């Protein structure tokens, strides 16, 4: 096991900068997920850690070694790719053992490692089969096993579940989480799926256009997004984001007037964006409740998503399952100030309780 340190790691392809100076410390045994949309630089960063992409500037350390200029084979890492990359003409046992044989490892040690990985991943019944005889989930377990037998200092996983159907993705998430708990090796995982990130990660690194937007534990990122991008990207259904202004010490937008959270203030007329998660808008009569005119209803099983308008503002509200609401119904919902997230519309950054006022002029 080993810690991983990225110090101002940058990647440019000519005049195009794919990754802008990433600073990150991954602790020994930590499970870190790089999350973001396509083209944000997450896979490029992972490939630089692996040595598959040459970095433009900065340094990468694994354990106590500077591996910035080392070949991938010398970094003591193992990588699991989006495609399984199995040898179709070899048995599962041979696929697992091949990399160890290339390293000229003793036959008894190869057999020990293969059997240990096979038992951990439930592959014993399939060791004499060829990859074409396995399901997608079984082939992904083989790909994980091939990494596991290396006994590396760091596992790198590049969107390993994207080729699986929804049910298999859930099962494989459980497998990967269990594997990390049992092995305890540092894992760096890339995905665009926020559910994978939230359920697997010790910490999430959210990226956009090659820049790190926020690093934190899943619930920290969910509860306190640091900017508008993170607020809109994390959460399903996504956060309601409403543009408006500070008026009379409150937030006003299209006929909607809300008290700001305790300790948050803004200069009169400052452009703000207020966010509230759909699950944080309880339905039912209450003092100060607002009228949601429902236009679309999405039944999710245990919950119901109501989509409509409060005045001129479009909102999504997630409630316990209800079969009574119909399009055109008016449902009372509450927006409590402490549940609101306030962002400066100009900078896109979160306005924290106790911070200087949004829109305030800098001191002379």
Looking at residue 224, its pLDDT comes to 95
354 sits in the region (left: phi over 0; alpha: psi -120 to 50; else beta) called: left
Q: What is the mean pLDDT of residues 226-246?
A: 95
Q: What is the pLDDT of residues 75-95, one digit of tens each?
A: 999 999 888 888 999 999 999
Question: Higher model confidence: residue 295 or residue 122?
Answer: 295
DSSP 208-239: ETTEEEEEE-HHHHHHS-SBHHHHHHSSSSPP
What whole-number percentage of the chain has pLDDT above 90? 76
Peptide bond preceding 237 in cis form (omega within 30 of 0): yes
In the block, residue with structure tokens 């973001």: 36
Q: For position 1, what pLDDT does the model report?
A: 66
Chain mean position to CA 133 = 32
According to DSSP, residue 74 is labeled: G
| Separation between Cα atoms, residue 206 and residue 224, nearest integer Å | 13
All domains of the chain in start order, with CATH: 4-228 (3.40.50.300), 229-344 (2.40.50.140)
Nearest to 239 by CA among 195, 294, 281, 276: 276
57-78 confidence digits (pLDDT tens): 999 999 989 999 999 999 999 9
Nearest to 315 by CA among 334, 343, 288, 342: 334
Is the pLDDT score of 346 beyond 70?
A: yes
DSSP for 311-353, please give it: TTEEEEEEEE--SS--TT-EEEE---GGG-EEEETTT-BB--T
What digits encode the pLDDT tens for the residues 281-294?
999 888 889 999 99
Eight-class DSSP state of 163: T
C-alpha distances in Å from residue 145, one per residue of 135, 182, 229, 314: 15, 13, 36, 48
CA-wise closest residue to 138 among 191, 92, 200: 92
Neighbouring CB atoms inside 10 A of 285's CB total 7
What pLDDT does residue 362 have?
39
> What does R_g of the chain's alpha carbons equal in angstroms?
25
The pTM of this model reads 0.90
Q: Which residues of 290-309 are buried (b: 16+ CB within 10 A; e: fewer)?
A: bebebeebeeeeeebbbbbb
CA distance 218 to 91: 39
Pairing of strands 154-158, 186-191: parallel
Contact indicator for 228, 241 with CB cutoff of 8 Å: yes
Separate counts of helices (H) and strands (E) for the chain: 8, 19
Nearest to 344 by CA among 287, 276, 264: 264
Q: 17-21, 48-52, 321-325: which has the minimum mean pLDDT?
A: 321-325
The pLDDT of residue 187 is above 60: yes
Distance CA(217)–CA(224), nearest Å, equals 10
pLDDT in tens, 134-163: 988 889 889 999 999 988 999 999 998 888
pLDDT of residue 363: 38
């Amino acid at each position: 096991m080993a810690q991983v340190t990225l110090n101002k790691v940058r990647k440019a392809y000519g005049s195009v900068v794919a990754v802008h100076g990433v600073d990150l410390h991954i602790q020994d045994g930590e499970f870190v997920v790089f999350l973001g949309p396509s083209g944000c630089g997450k896979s490029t960063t992972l490939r630089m850690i692996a040595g598959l992409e040459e970095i433009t500037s900065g340094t990468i350390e694994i354990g106590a070694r500077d591996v910035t200029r080392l070949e991938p084979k010398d970094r003591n890492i193992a990588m699991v790719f989006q495609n399984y990359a199995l040898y179709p003409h070899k048995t599962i046992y041979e696929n697992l053992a091949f990399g160890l044989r290339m390293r000229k490892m003793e036959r008894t040690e190869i057999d020990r490692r293969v059997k240990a990985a096979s038992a951990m991943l439930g592959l014993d019944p399939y060791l004499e089969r060829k990859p074409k005889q396995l399901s997608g989930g079984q082939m992904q377990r083989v790909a994980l096993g091939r990494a596991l037998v290396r006994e590396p200092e760091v596992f790198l996983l590049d969107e390993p579940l994207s080729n699986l159907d929804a049910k298999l993705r859930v099962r494989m998430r459980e497998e990967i989480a269990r594997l990390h708990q049992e092995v305890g090796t540092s894992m760096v995982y890339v995905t665009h799926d926020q559910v994978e990130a939230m359920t697997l990660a010790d910490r999430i690194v959210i990226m956009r256009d090659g820049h790190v937007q926020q690093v934190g534990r899943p619930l920290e990122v969910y509860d306190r997004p640091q900017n508008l991008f993170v607020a809109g990207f994390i959460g399903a259904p996504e956060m309601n984001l409403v543009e408006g202004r500070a008026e009379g010490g409150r937030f006003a937008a299209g006929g909607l007037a809300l008290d700001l959270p305790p300790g948050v203030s803004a200069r009169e007329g400052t452009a703000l964006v207020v966010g509230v998660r759909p699950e944080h808008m309880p339905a039912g009569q209450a003092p100060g409740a607002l009228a949601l005119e429902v236009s679309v209803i999405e039944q999710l099983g245990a919950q119901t998503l109501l989509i409509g308008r409060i005045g001129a503002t479009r909102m999504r509200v997630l409630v316990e399952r209800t079969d009574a609401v119909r399009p055109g119904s008016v449902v009372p919902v509450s927006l409590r100030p402490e549940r609101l997230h306030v962002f400066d519309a100009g900078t896109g950054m979160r306005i924290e309780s106790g911070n200087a006022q949004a829109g305030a002029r800098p001191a002379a």
